[in-house]
């Protein structure tokens, strides 16, 4: 049976890619920003800044303020239909496609989980990014099947003082999803792998066919939890090798720049990073 599994997984990836318009490609990949890159700003500003940086996709997170005018209102899966309509209108205006939502906790509260999937369906979002309560994976899988929305397990760095935290290990994530629905997979945060002292390309190979989203970071140092972001191609993450591996696997994205440095003035660096993705070309055969 296992020899048939990988083609099914690649078909699942291709099926998701078909829901993203070709106009959302930046070079070879669907690419844009994790809205957390603009956490000092509102959702409406994050959409504008993603477009200004050259991004075509966006991944929202649950606690961002809605707009400069409505700083007391948060945009998330509890938002009203009117707020959701306003965000959709801003996305259309800026030519940005919403494709992901997270990182959000799933698996501990079935009713709350359902609200998240209902919100994503309404928004046209195809991936929920989570660091789940693994005891609730059966319930999450049922929602994945019901809503036809992917679940992607995110990784933060290894925590030396918290041995119970295992999502940093791609082998652990693979064990959690490999025998489940093909829409159960990973959100590959390549920068956090670098902080954990792991080679991102090796990790991507371990999770081949199960990666549905990627938080992209190029960092100042390898193996240092305190390393900070640099524009793509200038740090220690080896972004060219990562892009080459994604391309070789047939993974089309989304790739989301998650820039966690120079918070209020990072737009030029994010734009430089997306230009790097746009200009990257696979090696001639």
19: confidence class by pLDDT, cuts 50, 70, 90: confident
56 found inside a domain: yes
221 belongs to a structural domain: yes
Mean pLDDT of 88-117: 98
Residue 136 has what pLDDT? 98
Confidence of residue 14 (pLDDT cuts 50, 70, 90): very low
Share the mean pLDDT of the chain.
Answer: 94
Using alpha carbons, list the distances in angstroms from residue 93 to 72, 76, 123, 138, 158.
Answer: 24, 20, 15, 38, 40
Q: How large is the average pLDDT for residues 235-251?
A: 98
Cut 0.95: pTM above it:
no
Q: What is the mean pLDDT of residues 187-209?
A: 98
Confidence of residue 285 (pLDDT cuts 50, 70, 90): confident
Region at 95 (left for phi over 0; alpha for psi -120 to 50; beta for the rest): left
Q: Could you count the other beta carbons within 10 Å of the beta carbon of residue 166?
A: 16
Is 81 within the bounds of a domain?
Answer: yes
* Residue percentage of the chain with pLDDT more than 90: 91
211-243 in b/e form (b: 16+ CB < 10 A) is: bbbbbbbbbbebeeeebebbbbbbbbbbbeebb
Per the domain annotation, does 284 fall within a domain? no
Residue 211: give its domain's CATH number: 3.20.20.150
**What is the predicted pLDDT for the residue at 4?**
42
Residue 11, pLDDT score: 47
Which residue range is the domain that position 247 belongs to? 24-279
Q: What pLDDT is recorded for position 10?
A: 46
Q: Is 67 a member of any domain? A: yes
**Residue 270 is assigned to a structural domain of this protein:** yes
pLDDT in the model for residue 188: 98
Quote the number of domains for the chain: 1
Flag whether 1 is in a domain: no
Is residue 16 within 8 A of residue 212, CB to CB? The reply is yes
Tell me the average pLDDT across 172-199.
98
- Backbone φ, ψ for residue 26 (5° rounding): -115, 95
């Amino acid at each position: 049976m296992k020899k048939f599994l990988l083609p099914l997984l690649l078909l699942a990836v291709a099926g998701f890619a078909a829901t993203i318009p070709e106009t959302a490609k930046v070079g070879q990949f669907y690419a844009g920003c994790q809205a957390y890159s603009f956490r000092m700003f509102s959702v409406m500003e994050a959409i504008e800044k993603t477009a200004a940086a050259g991004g075509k996709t966006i991944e929202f997170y649950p606690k961002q303020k809605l707009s400069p005018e409505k700083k007391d209102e948060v945009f998330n899966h509890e938002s009203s239909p009117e707020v959701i309509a306003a965000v959709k209108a801003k996305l259309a205006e800026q030519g940005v496609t919403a494709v992901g939502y997270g990182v959000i906790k799933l698996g501990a509260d079935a009713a709350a989980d359902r609200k998240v999937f209902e919100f994503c369906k309404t928004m046209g979002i195809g991936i929920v990014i989570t660091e789940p309560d693994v005891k609730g994976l059966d319930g999450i899988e049922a929602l994945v099947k019901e809503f036809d929305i992917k679940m992607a397990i995110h990784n933060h760095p290894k925590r030396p003082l918290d041995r119970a935290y295992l999502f940093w290990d791609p082998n652990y994530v693979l064990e959690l999803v490999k025998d489940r629905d093909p829409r159960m997979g990973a959100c590959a945060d390549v920068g956090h792998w670098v902080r954990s002292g792991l080679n991102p390309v090796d990790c991507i190979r371990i999770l081949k066919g199960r990666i549905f989203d990627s938080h992209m970071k190029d960092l100042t140092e390898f193996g240092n939890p305190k390393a900070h972001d640099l524009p793509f191609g200038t740090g220690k993450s080896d972004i060219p090798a990562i892009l080459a591996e994604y391309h070789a696997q047939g993974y089309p994205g989304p790739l989301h720049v998650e820039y966690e440095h120079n918070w209020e003035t990072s737009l030029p660096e994010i734009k430089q990073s997306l230009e790097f993705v746009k200009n990257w070309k696979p090696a001639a055969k």
